[in-house]
Structure 1
Amino acid sequence: MLQLVTRSHLEGFHYRPRIDKELLEQHRQGLICLSGCASAEVPTLLADGNYDAAREKVGWYRELFGQDYYLELQHHEHVPQLPAINESLIRLNKDTGIPLLVTNDAHYVRQREHQFQDVYICIQTGTNVHDEKRLRMEDSSYYIKSPAEMASLFPQFPQALDITGEVAQGCNVSLGFGQMHLPRYNTPNNEDADAYLERICWEGFRKRYGNNHEEARVRMEYELEVVKQTSFANYFLVVWDIISFVRQQEILFGVRGSAAASIVLYCLGITEIDPLEYRLVFERFLNFERKEMPDIDMDFQDDRRDEVLRYVIDRYGSDRVAQIITFGTMGPKAALRDVGRGLGMSYGDVDRVARMVPNRSRTLSDALAANPELKQTYESDPAMQNLVDNAQALEGIVHHVSTHAAGVLIADEPLTETVPLQRPARGDENSPVMMTQFSMDPVAKLGLLKMDFLGLTNLTILDRTIKLLDEERGIRIDLGRLGLDDEEAYELLGTGNTSDLFQLESAGMQRYIKELKPSNLGDIAAMIALYRPGPMEHIDRFIRSKHGREEVTYPHPSMKELLDETYGVIVYQDQAMGKKIPALMAEERDRFVAGAVAQGYTEMMGTEIFDLIEPFAGYAFNKAHSVSYGLISYWTAYFKTHYALEYMASVLNCRLDHADRYVASINECTRMGITIGLPDVNASGVLYTIDKTVDKSAGLGQLRVGLTAVKTIGEGAVNPIVAERTANGPYTSALAKAGAFDSLAPRAAVVGALDRIWAVAQQETRNRNSGQFGMFGNELDSNSGGTLLELVTKST
Structure 2
Amino acid sequence: MSKSFTLLNTHSHYSLLSALPKIPDLVAKAKKEGMSALALTDNGNLYGAIEFYKECKKEGIKPILGIDCYLAARTRHDKVGGIDNKRTRFILLAKNEDGYRNLIKISTASHLEGFYYKPRVDLELLEQYKDGLIAIVPFGASELAQALRMKDEARAKTFLEKLSGIFGSDLRLGIGSEKTTKDTEELLPAVQALSASLHISLVVVEPVFYLEPEDKPARDTMLLVSAGGDPREREEHNEQEHLFPSASELAARFARFPDALAETSRVADECNLKLALGKWVFPHIDTGGVAPDEALRAAVEAGYARREIQRTPEAEKRVAYELDIIAKKGYAPYFLVVADLLRFAHERGILTTIRGSVAGSLATYLAGITNVNPLEYKLPFERFLNPERPSAPDIDMDFADNRRDEMIEYAKQKYGADKVAQIGTFGTMMARGSVRDVARAMGFDYTTGDRIAKLIPFGSQGFPMSIARAFELVPELAKLYKDDDETKQIIDMAKKIEGCARHISVHAAGVVIAPTPLTDYAPLQLDPKGGKLITQYDMYAIEEAGLLKFDFLGIKNLSILADAVARAKELEGVTVDIENIPVDDKKTFEMLARGETEGLFQLNGAGMTRYLKELKPSRIQDINAMVALYRPGPMETIPQYIERKHNPRLISYLDPRLQSILADSYGVITYQDDVLLTAIHLAGYSWLEVDKLRKAMGKKIPAEMEAQRVKLIEGFVKNGATKEKAEKLWRLIEPFAAYGFNKAHAASYGKVAYQTAYMKANFPAIYMSAVLTADSGDVERIGEIVAECKRMDIAVLPPSVNESFSGFTVVKKIGEIDRIRFGLTTIKNFGEGVAQSIIAERAARGQFKNLSDFLERVKDKNLNKKALEALIKSGAMDEFGERGALFANMELLLQYGKESAERSSASLFSALPASVGLRLVDSPPATQEEKLGWEKELLGLYVSGHPLDKFRHILEKREVNIRRAKEEYKEGMTVVVAGILQEVKTIITKKNEIMAFLNLADFSGSIEVVVFPRVWNEHKTLFSPDALVALKGRISNRNNTVSMVAEKAKALSA
Q: TM-score, normalised by structure 2?
A: 0.68
C-alpha deviation, 1:138, in angstroms: 4.1
**Displacement, 1:154?**
1.2
Counterpart for residue 239 of structure 1: 338
Q: Residue 146 of structure 2 corresponds to which residue in structure 1? A: 44
Query: How does 1:714-753 map onto structure 2 within 5 Å?
Result: 714-731=831-848, 732=850, 733=852, 736=855, 743-744=891-892
Contact 1:118–1:137 (CA under 8 A) maintained in structure 2 = no
Are the counterparts in 2 of residues 108 and 144 from structure 1 also a CA contact under 8 Å? Answer: yes
Which residue pairs with 2:507 in the alignment?
404
| Aligned-residue RMSD, C-alpha | 2.9
Residue 330, structure 1, aligned to residue 330, structure 2: no
Q: CA deviation at 1:292?
A: 2.8
Q: Match of 1:178?
A: 278
Please give the secondary structure, in 1, of the residue aligned with 2:133.
coil
- Percent sequence identity is 37
Distance 1:469 1:366 in 2: 50
Question: Which of 221, 225, 238 is equivalent to 1:119?
Answer: 221
**Following TM superposition, by how much is the alpha carbon of 1:381 offset from its aligned partner in structure 2, in angstroms?**
4.7
Whole-angstrom CA distance in 1 between matches of 2:499 and 2:830: 42
Q: 1:372: how far off? A: 4.1
- Which of the pair is proportionally richer in strand? 2
The partner residue of 2:260 within 123, 138, 160 is 160
- The one-letter code sitting in structure 2 at the alignment partner of 1:259 is V
Separation of aligned partners in 1, 2:403 and 2:338: 17
CA distance in structure 2 between the partners assigned to 1:212 and 1:381 by the alignment: 72
Q: Deviations over 1:661-715 (max 9, x none)?
A: 121111111111111222121221122222224742xxx4211221111123343
Matched, 1:21 2:123: yes
Of stretches 417-426 and 625-634 in structure 1, the one that deviates more from structure 2 is: 417-426
1:90 corresponding residue in structure 2: 192
Is 2:718 aligned against 1:619?
A: no
Contact 2:404 2:554 in 1 (8 A): yes
2:290 to 176, 191, 197: 191
How far 1:376 moved relative to its partner?
4.2
1:391 Cα offset (Å): 0.8
Q: Provide closer, same or farther for how the CA distance between residues 719 and 565 of structure 1 changes in structure 2, counting only shifts above 3 A.
A: same
Structure-1 residue corresponding to 2:356: 257
User: Does 2:249 align with 1:149?
Assistant: yes
Look up the SS of the partner of 2:320 in the other structure: helix
Look up the match of 2:574: 475
What is the total number of aligned residue pairs between the two structures?
A: 757
Kept in 1: contact 2:426–2:504 (CA 8 A):
yes
Any idea what SS the aligned residue of 1:618 has?
coil
Q: Determine which of 820, 841, 846 is the counterpart of 1:703.
A: 820
Alignment of 1:196-595 (within 5 A): 196-360=295-459, 362-426=465-529, 428-429=530-531, 431=532, 434-548=533-647, 551-577=650-676, 578=691, 579-580=694-695, 581-582=698-699, 583=701, 584-595=704-715
Q: 1:196 to 1:298 in 2, by over 3 A?
A: same
AA in 2 matched with 1:226: I
Give secondary structure in 1 for the equivalent of 2:236.
Answer: coil
Distance 1:84-1:174 versus aligned 2 partners, 3 A rule? same
Question: Which stretch has the larger CA shift, 682-691 or 372-381?
Answer: 372-381
Letter in structure 1 aligned against 2:465: R
Decide whether aligned partners of structure 1 residues 67 and 637 sit closer, same or farther in structure 2, where only a CA change above 3 A counts.
Answer: same
Aligned to 2:131, the other structure's residue is in SS state: coil
How big is the shift at 1:777?
Answer: 8.2
CA distance 1:550–1:337, shift in 2 (3 Å) = farther
* Partner residue in 1 for 2:728: 608
- TM-fit CA distance, 1:656: 0.6
Deviations for 1:336-364, whole angstroms, at most 9, x for unmatched residues?
22111211224444344334434458222
Question: For residues 625-774 of structure 1, what are the structure 2 equivalents within 5 Å?
Answer: 625-693=745-813, 695-696=815-816, 700-731=817-848, 732=850, 733=852, 736=855, 743-744=891-892, 754=918
The answer to whether the 8 Å contact 1:3/1:416 transfers is yes
Assess, with a 3 A threshold, how the Cα gap between structure 1 residues 152 and 694 changes in structure 2: closer, same or farther.
Answer: farther
Q: Distance in 2 between matches of 1:266 and 1:757?
A: 69
2:177 paired residue number: 75
Match of 1:788 in 2: none
Q: Is the 8 A contact 1:100 1:163 kept in 2?
A: yes
* TM-fit CA distance, 1:181: 1.2
TM-score relative to the length of structure 1: 0.89
Query: Aligned partners of 1:398 and 1:143: how far apart in 2?
Result: 19
AA partner of residue 601 (structure 2): F
CA pair 665-44 structure 1, distance change in 2 beyond 3 A: same
Letter in 2 for 1:743: E
In terms of mean alpha carbon deviation, does 409-418 or 73-82 score higher?
73-82
- Residue aligned with 1:205, SS: helix
Counterpart residue number, 1:789: none
Q: 2:164 maps to which residue?
A: 62
Q: Aligned in 2, Cα 1:521/1:211: closer, same or farther, shift over 3 Å? A: closer
Residues 369-378 or 246-255, more deviating: 369-378
Give 1:712's aligned amino acid. N
Distance in 1 of aligned mates of 2:482 and 2:945: 60
CA distance in 2, matches of 1:366, 1:515: 34
Specify the SS of the correspondent of 1:255. strand
Distance in 2 between residues matched to 1:476 and 1:409, nearest whole Å: 36
CA 1:757 to 1:568, structure 2 compared with 1: closer, same or farther past 3 Å? farther
Contact 1:114 1:140 in 2 (8 A): no
Give, in angstroms, the shift of residue 82 of structure 1. Answer: 2.1
Q: Partner of 1:104: helix, strand, or coil? A: coil
Query: What's the counterpart of residue 104 of structure 2?
Result: 2
In the alignment, residue 497 of structure 2 is paired with which amino acid? Answer: L
Match of 1:109 among 211, 215, 218: 211
Structure 1 SS opposite 2:758:
helix
Identify if the C-alpha distance between structure 1 residues 234 and 754 changes in structure 2 by more than 3 Å, giving closer, same or farther: same
Q: CA deviation at 1:263?
A: 0.7
Q: Is the 8 A contact 1:335 1:395 kept in 2?
A: yes
Return closer, same or farther for 1:703/1:40 CA change in 2, 3 Å cut-off.
Answer: same
SS at the partner of 2:242?
coil
8 Å contact 1:544–1:550 — kept in the other structure?
no
Counterpart of 1:331, as a letter, is: M
C-alpha separation in 2, matches of 1:267 and 1:235: 16
CA distance in 1, matches of 2:588, 2:452: 49
Structure 2 residue identity aligned to 1:403: V
Q: Are the structure 2 counterparts of residues 624 and 54 from structure 1 closer, same or farther at C-alpha, using a change threshold of 3 Å?
A: same
For residue 121 of structure 1, report the CA deviation from its aligned partner.
Answer: 1.1
CA deviation string 1:574-615 (max 9, x = no partner): 111343432354542222222223223333433332233233
Is contact 2:140-2:180 (8 Å) kept? Answer: no
CA distance in 1, matches of 2:489, 2:346: 59
Query: By how many angstroms is 1:209 displaced?
Result: 4.3
* In 2, Cα distance between equivalents of 1:719 and 1:637: 32
Distance in 1 (CA, whole Å) between partners of 2:807 and 2:179 is: 67
Structure 2 residue runs of 5 or longer lacking an equivalent are 1-102, 677-690, 866-888, 900-914, 933-942, 948-1054
Contact 2:138–2:205 (8 Å) recurs in 1: no
Distance of 1:274 and 1:466 partners within structure 2: 23
Q: Which amino acid aligns with 1:30?
A: G
2:805 is paired with a residue of what secondary structure? coil
- TM-superposed CA distance for 1:103, in Å, is 2.0
